[in-house]
Amino acid sequence: MARVVVDVMPKPEILDPQGQAVAGALPRLGFHGVRDVRQGKHFELDVDDSVDDDTLDKIAEGFLSNPVIEDFVVRRVDQ
Amino acid sequence: MARVVVDVMPKPEILDPQGQAVAGALPRLGFHGVRDVRQGKHFELDVDDSVDDDTLDKIAEGFLSNPVIEDFVVRRVDQ
């Protein structure tokens, strides 16, 4: 069994209203110095050792993200 | 300027319907071997060097997550 992380983020050129809402609210809460915030999705998958990297990329691209507006990063992590 | 990642996940004992929906759909799409999927939020923050770890923890705990049902991890990453 392996643990895989997939992080899905809006493409840089895509407007990120959620991230902007967070960045805008932080100074009002007394937190200064945060220049930019972007918000995306974080997936943690437990997969059999039979699942190879190519399959993980297909899952990330075809199912966990929308390739038109999002980028993804797949990482195998130590358990 | 530093880049900080905050990953927010449902606590293990909390039901994760989104993650379960993904895990349930993958075999129907022909992807086998994925035992479990959990879905959370991934934040990327650009912060001034003046922002210390204690402040980042307060932002993550008090604003980016709901400590009752979610855990968070703060990581400084190389740009």
Cα end-to-end span (Å), chain B: 9
Q: Residues A8-20: pLDDT tens digits?
A: 999 999 999 999 9
Q: Does B48 touch chain A (CB under 8 A)?
A: yes
Closest of B46, B59, B11, B60 to residue A44, by C-alpha: B11
CB B46 within 8 Å of CB A56: no
Whether domain A2-77 has CATH 3.40.50.720: no
CB B21 within 8 Å of CB B68: no
Q: Residues B5-48: pLDDT tens digits?
A: 999 999 999 999 999 999 999 999 999 999 999 999 999 999 99
**Region of residue B35 (left: phi > 0; alpha: psi -120 to 50; beta: else):** alpha
ipTM of the complex: 0.92
Mean pLDDT computed over A39-62: 96
Number of Cβ within a 10 Å radius of residue B13: 6
Mutate to test the interface with B, among A16, A47, A49, A77 (most CBs of B within 10 A): A47
Please report, for chain B, the start and end positions of each structural domain, with discontinuous segments joined by +. 2-77
